Homo-oligomer: A and B are copies of this chain.
Amino acid sequence: MYLSDTSNRYMVMNIKKNKTRYVILGLVSEEPLSGYDINKIIQMRFKFFWQESYGQIYPELARLENEGLISLVPQDTETKRARNVYQITDAGREELRNWLLLPPEKEARRYEILLKLYFGNLIPDEQLMQYLSSFRQNHDQELQILKEVEAELKGILDQHENHIYILMTVYLGLKLNQAYVEWADEIIGMLKKLKDGKEKS
């Protein structure tokens, strides 16, 4: 169907924004997986840079199957629990490839803590310090986890050709969390000084 208008003003946008499908395609491109598996993997391995919910995964799996980009793998014996395991198709591999070859979009972020800090003169400094120290703690925890992941990955670098790429993502996690922790420490220091100054006057 060429040049069909469908009388929809908004047809113009052919830029795919839905990234969920590519996460799924990427994951099933490595091995057949169920929706449940996919969720677990994202929770474990992507935690620090990506998140999805069942509310997106299951409908997307259905859509992908409908489009022929993935297909159900027939499960063997009847004794097993019901599981819908999907594998990628050639068309799916093609779709994934096309997306991977598209330059990544600039990521838009929203840092609630910065917003609160921006309006910092409206909150007591102690409160801000509390936010910052829990922020620091969170990121320090993530930092420790990532350090373990790094060590583990380095030990099995030659076991799969994608391990090196995973390690690269971990490096950013390390850098960013390091930056968060350092920043929080500096700001807490600044706030302490500010508070002392205010109390003296």
Chain A positions within 8 Å of B, measured between CB atoms, are 19, 22-23, 26, 29, 46, 49-51, 96-97, 100-101, 103-123, 127, 130-131, 134-135, 138, 161-162, 164-166, 168-169, 171-172, 175-176, 178-180, 182-183, 186-187, 190, 194
Within 8 Å by CB of A175, from B103, B117, B179, lies B179
Q: Does A49 lie within 8 Å of B111, measured CB to CB? A: yes
Given contacts A104-B135, A172-B114, contact A119 B165 (CB under 8 A): yes
**Interfacial chain B residues near A135, Cβ < 8 Å:** 104
With A and B bound together, what is the CA distance between A127 and B165 in angstroms? Answer: 14
**Count of chain copies:** 2
- Chain B residue at minimum C-beta to C-beta distance from A119: B26
Q: Does B183 lie within 8 Å of A115, measured CB to CB? A: no
- Chain B residue at minimum C-beta to C-beta distance from A112: B104
Within 8 Å by CB of A183, from B114, B131, B138, B172, lies B172
Within 8 Å by CB of A123, from B101, B112, B134, B194, lies B101
Q: Does A171 lie within 8 Å of B186, measured CB to CB? A: yes
With A and B bound together, what is the CA distance between A117 and B183 in angstroms? Answer: 27
Within 8 Å by CB of A101, from B46, B127, B162, lies B127
A154 to chain B minimum Cβ distance, whole angstroms, is 13
With A and B bound together, what is the CA distance between A3 and B164 in angstroms? Answer: 56
Q: Does B107 lie within 8 Å of A122, measured CB to CB? A: no
Q: Does B165 lie within 8 Å of A120, measured CB to CB? A: yes
Q: Does B131 lie within 8 Å of A104, measured CB to CB? A: yes
- Chain B residue at minimum C-beta to C-beta distance from A167: B190
Q: Does B172 lie within 8 Å of A115, measured CB to CB? A: no
With A and B bound together, what is the CA distance between A179 and B138 in angstroms? Answer: 18
The 18 sampled A-B contact pairs (Cβ below 8 Å) are A19-B110, A22-B115, A26-B119, A29-B119, A49-B111, A51-B108, A51-B110, A100-B116, A100-B122, A103-B134, A114-B172, A118-B166, A120-B162, A120-B164, A121-B161, A172-B183, A175-B180, A175-B183
Q: Does B120 lie within 8 Å of A50, measured CB to CB? A: no
